[in-house]
Amino acid sequence: MKVGILGSTGVVGREIIRQLELYNFPINELKLFCSSKNKGQSIIFDSEIILTQEVCDDSFDNLDILFGATSKEVVQKYEKQLESLKGIFIDNSSLYRMKPDVKLIIPEINFNTININDKIIANPNCSTIITLMALFPIHQINNINKIIITTFQATSGAGQKGMNELNNQMLNMEYDEFDENNVFSRKILNNIIPLIGSIDVYGNTTEEQKMANETCKILKKSILVESTCVRVPLIRSHSMSIYIECENLIDLKKCVDSIEKFEGAVVTDAKDSRNFPCPLDVVYSNEILVGRIRKSLSNNNALSLWCCGDQICKGAATNAVQIANMYINKFLKNNMV
Ligand SMILES: NC(=O)c1ccc[n+]([C@@H]2O[C@H](COP(=O)([O-])OP(=O)(O)OC[C@H]3O[C@@H](n4cnc5c(N)ncnc54)[C@H](OP(=O)(O)O)[C@@H]3O)[C@@H](O)[C@H]2O)c1
């Protein structure tokens, strides 16, 4: 396979490289693209040094799979080059997610909707992926009608520059007056910021809208999704506090069993006061941990739970590499040399 990564020097791009190695992905040639700022950097893949390069007119032409790991604005800039891409484009940005003719895919949930004619496949927002990995098994046994979520999102969700801002503030802790906040709207160290993205006239943010729209698109159902997306001073991994209302009475054991049987999700049951998922437990892990699963005190059709996932792994890179692997197995394996 000839594979490319657009945004290979960023947080998601570097994780895609790690996942390609982990999955032992069949690669004959790997092209690593970035901006002019970082071209010529050495990146090691499979014990070989590959130099990063800028995108030119025919960069994507011969690629079987191109991973997008850059902003929607940058992807938009290369739409002309994407037209001549031989293979498929699996994108992590939000550019194509809500386009009606583009599939929005979490492999464990809806890979079977992809067909050979899909040239662009969109990866959902990281918080949407982690949330639905915990909720989809329940939805399969008892239709979910309403979801209320509060997210706790790490700084790396805003890319390398988000992590750098937290790290700089930690290094300069004693010199508080020198702390700068350029990436986040307020100081993130020792703080939480209840606003991610830009805000609309009704007070909802783009991140909150993404969670609502993408959930309905993936589950093919008009579900009420209310969320408050919150930035927390962590380097890596997102957590969610979730309340759901279902069509029928909650059978707690069946709900827990359904999550336990679902590939990619693991139940960490709070049988004692220390055993529950924490964001630290999932750093660099491809699994979503689910715990604190409990029936609602006031509604027999409702339950609450807590889940954590590494948003750079399953929330982005792992999901994209899984799509690529499954696509190869389903559509390309017989043509591979
Ligand atoms: N971070 C997360 O947790 C996460 C999770 C899910 C989805 N996403 C999405 O994934 C995408 C990448 O996010 P990220 O966090 O990895 O961002 P990032 O760390 O800021 O990395 C951005 C990448 O884009 C490259 N780039 C910038 N301008 C470019 C240009 N003109 N031409 C080619 N490449 C260019 C950068 O290259 P240089 O190094 O040369 O600047 C870098 O490799 C975004 O759409 C984001 O919304 C991120």
Q: Output the DSSP codes for 253-300.
A: HHHHHHHHHSTTEEE---SSTT-S--GGGGTT-SPEEEEEEEE-SS-T
- Atom nearest to 157 CA in ligand 1: 3
How much distance in Å is there from the Cα of 11 to the middle of ligand 1? 7
Closest residue (by CA) to atom 47 of ligand 1?
93
230 touches 152 (CB < 8 A): yes
- 139: annotated active-site residue: no
Query: What b/e readout covers 190-208, taking b as 16+ CB neighbours within 10 angstroms?
Result: eeebebbeeeeeeebbebb
What are the CA-CA distances from residue 240 to residues 42, 196, 275 (Å)? 37, 14, 17
In contact, 159 and 14? CB cutoff 8 Å: no
Longest dimension (CA), the chain: 62
Read off φ and ψ for residue 248, nearest 5 degrees. -120, 175
Classified as helix, coil or strand, 324 is helix
CATH of 2-123+316-335, one of 3.30.565.10, 1.20.1180.10, 3.40.640.10, 3.40.50.720: 3.40.50.720
- Cβ pair 241, 148 in contact under 8 A: no
The answer, as to whether pTM is greater than 0.85, is: yes
Q: What is the pLDDT of residue 172?
A: 83
How many angstroms is it from 27 CA to the middle of ligand 1? 22
CA 294 to chain centroid? 26
Active-site position among 34, 229, 238, 308: 238
231 in helix, strand or coil?
strand
Q: Is 238 a catalytic residue?
A: yes
Task: Check: CB of residue 311 under 8 Å from CB of residue 157.
Answer: yes
Domain residue ranges in the chain: 2-123+316-335, 127-311
Question: pLDDT digit of tens for each residue in the chain (337 aa)?
Answer: 999 999 999 999 999 999 999 999 999 999 999 999 999 999 999 999 999 999 999 999 999 999 999 999 999 999 999 999 999 999 999 999 999 999 999 999 999 999 999 999 999 999 999 999 999 999 999 999 999 999 999 999 999 999 999 999 999 876 665 567 889 999 999 999 999 999 999 999 999 999 999 999 999 999 999 999 999 999 999 999 999 999 999 999 999 999 999 999 999 976 777 789 999 999 999 999 999 999 999 999 999 999 999 999 999 999 999 999 999 999 988 766 5
- Least Cα distance to 156 among 3, 43, 282, 322 occurs for 282
Distance CA 79, CA 77 (A): 6
Residues flanking ligand 1, CB < 6 Å: 7-13, 33-35, 37-38, 55, 69-71, 74, 92-93, 126, 156-157, 159-161, 311-312, 315-316
Contact 159, 70 (CB under 8 A): no
Pick the CATH number of 127-311 from 2.30.42.10, 3.30.360.10, 3.40.309.10, 3.30.1330.10: 3.30.360.10
Which residue, judged by its Cα, is nearest atom 39 of ligand 1? 9
For ligand 1, pick from 60, 71, 229 the residue to mutate: most ligand atoms within 8 Å of CB. Answer: 71
